[in-house]
Amino acid sequence: MPSVKKSLNLAANGNLMEFDAIVIGSGIGGLVTATQLAAKGAKVLVLERYLIPGGSAGYFEREGYRFDVGASMIFGFGNKGTTNLLTRALKAVNVSLETIPDPTQIHYHLPEDLKIRVHRDYEKFLLELIEHFPQEQHGIRQFYDECWQVFNCLNAMDLLSLEEPRYLTRVFFQHPMACLGLVKYLPMNVGDVARKYITDPTLLKFLDIECYCWSVVPAEMTPMINAGMVFSDRHYGGINYPKGGVGQIALKLVEGLEKAGGEIKYKARVTKIITEDGKAVGVKLATGEEFRAKRIISNATRWDTFEHLLPAAEMPPSEKKWQQRYQKSPSFLSLHLGVAADVLPLGTECHHIVLEDWQKMELPEGTIFVSIPTLLDPSLAPEGCHILHVFTPSWFEDWRGISENEYEEKKEAAAGRIIERLEKIFPGLDAGLDYMEVGTPRSHRRFLGRDDGTYGPIPRRKLAGLLGMPFNRTAIPGLYCVGDSTFPGQGLNAVAFSGFACAHRVGVDLGL
């Protein structure tokens, strides 16, 4: 029987070569960490289980269509301030990416025929919202202006590791008022702030879905820090779609990583984090191969990291405590559709959210998210066609334990229900279908390696803002986490923030 090769990280002379850092997974958080460390001179290896990088910010191609795996509404590509983290991440490794500005962030289609568009122009958005709720004019302006206060604090400083004392000291002396402002808002949630200014129940429901569309929880459970970033940056840096699709972000980061001397290996599924004397020192792949590094960084979810890559029975108390505060959010049912261009009415916006009943906002298939990226970049679809990426929350448990025939029938039935609802906005959608592929929570678990296909962590109960979210270091020496289960949470720009912070903390620990 042939012997198992134990390690691939051998120098040319055959001796074991240790990396400065190994990153498990090539999601955006992991790639930003890797590129920032490589730019500092670290020897970095990224291990990706799939064939291409990006995770939920990846892509796939079918019959002339290039589909985004996840959301197509992208923050972080602005050209001013410090919150344009994707622009900064690419620049750090001498690559760039052309983007296309989106004039409207979201077109909401809500109960009682409430239709609201979030325009890139801040005043235009406020005026449209006030038109629907004239009695709340002052409250609307006061609430969203307070979101700007949060954003201005963030945008005044370099966003690096809040675990690094020298950085905190430096940034406090440079921007004392901004730091004090952030400290004030750290324990706050959006609902608490909104109710200081607004009483109309429907408007408060609107603020719930304003939060839910990216945090997967209503306003009372959404941290004010995150809302300040999202609700303001959409007007400041704007929503900018990467030309060629969202997958180009990861491809460009990999290009920059390799330019800076880093490495990435595909079809390299990590099955174990190796520890010695309680310290993380390496990883083991499904093939049996092992790699060693001074620091190990997991871009997997915390559930995958501490229950699958490490022995669940030895979970540190801090992780158990975190799991008592946070739970896995639902996954998504995704419809990747190719449709005839004439299905879309003239003037259709790129992003839509559909909800017919406020009481069903958080239920499976309650809220429907729609992105039409070909309205910004027609090259993603064959001529005369558009892409509709449609997704709605769905729990893994609802797809467990059924046969393949039942699974396919269930997918087809779910797709039919969603398309029927969308016909009210896009008449002729069903008849205009050219291509359809349906993904479920099982697909997300299989291809993205996320426990139960979860979108990320959500609070089990109302918590004090972001104070409960862990930073990058873990209770295991040498092991760090990055991505949506670390501060500041979900969203592409948020995980980029996590990546900058992680690279900063690891760089300091390595003496770079």
- Among the listed residues 57, 68, 86, the one whose alpha carbon sits nearest the alpha carbon of residue 450: 57
**Cα–Cα dist 107/355, whole Å:** 12
With 90 as the cut, is the pLDDT of residue 380 above it? yes
Q: What is the mean pLDDT of residues 378-386?
A: 96
**Cα–Cα dist 259/253, whole Å:** 10
At 57, the pLDDT band (50, 70, 90 cuts) reads confident
Q: What is the mean pLDDT of residues 326-344?
A: 94
Instruction: Output the pLDDT for position 14.
Output: 40
At 375, the pLDDT band (50, 70, 90 cuts) reads very high
Rounded to 5 degrees, what are φ and ψ at 140? -60, -50
Out of 10-19, 187-196, 344-353, least confident range: 10-19
Neighbour count for residue 313 (Cβ, 10 Å): 6
Decide yes or no: CATH 3.40.50.1820 for domain 19-62+72-97+242-326+457-510.
Answer: no
> Which residues of the chain does CATH 3.50.50.60 include?
19-62+72-97+242-326+457-510
Instruction: Output the pLDDT for position 405.
Output: 94
Q: What is the DSSP string of 298-360?
A: E-S-HHHIIIIITTGGG--HHHHHHHHHEEEPPEEEEEEEEEEGGGSPTT--SEEEE-S-GGG
**Cα–Cα dist 457/383, whole Å:** 39
Out of 153-157, 166-170, 219-223, least confident range: 166-170
Out of 378-382, 441-445, 462-466, 502-506, least confident range: 462-466
Please give the mean pLDDT across all residues of the chain: 90
Instruction: Output the pLDDT for position 163.
Output: 63
With 60 as the cut, is the pLDDT of residue 13 above it? no
Out of 37-46, 152-161, 186-195, 445-454, least confident range: 152-161
Structure confidence by residue, pLDDT tens digits, 442-476 = 998 888 888 888 888 888 888 877 777 888 999 99
Q: What is the mean pLDDT of residues 323-330?
A: 91
Neighbour count for residue 76 (Cβ, 10 Å): 27
R_g (Cα) of the chain, nearest Å? 23
Instruction: Output the pLDDT for position 161.
Output: 60
Torsion-angle region of 216 (φ positive above 0: left; ψ -120 to 50: alpha; else: beta): left
At 173, the pLDDT band (50, 70, 90 cuts) reads low
Instruction: Output the pLDDT for position 341.
Output: 95
**Do residues 471 and 162 make contact, with C-beta atoms less than 8 angstroms apart?**
yes
**Do residues 221 and 463 make contact, with C-beta atoms less than 8 angstroms apart?**
yes
Structure confidence by residue, pLDDT tens digits, 92-147 = 999 999 999 999 999 999 999 999 999 999 999 999 999 999 999 999 999 999 99
List the Cα angle 30/253/233 in 5-degree steps: 80
pTM over 0.85: yes
With 90 as the cut, is the pLDDT of residue 154 above it? no
Instruction: Output the pLDDT for position 184.
Output: 83
Instruction: Output the pLDDT for position 5.
Output: 37
Q: Which amino acid is at 335?
A: L
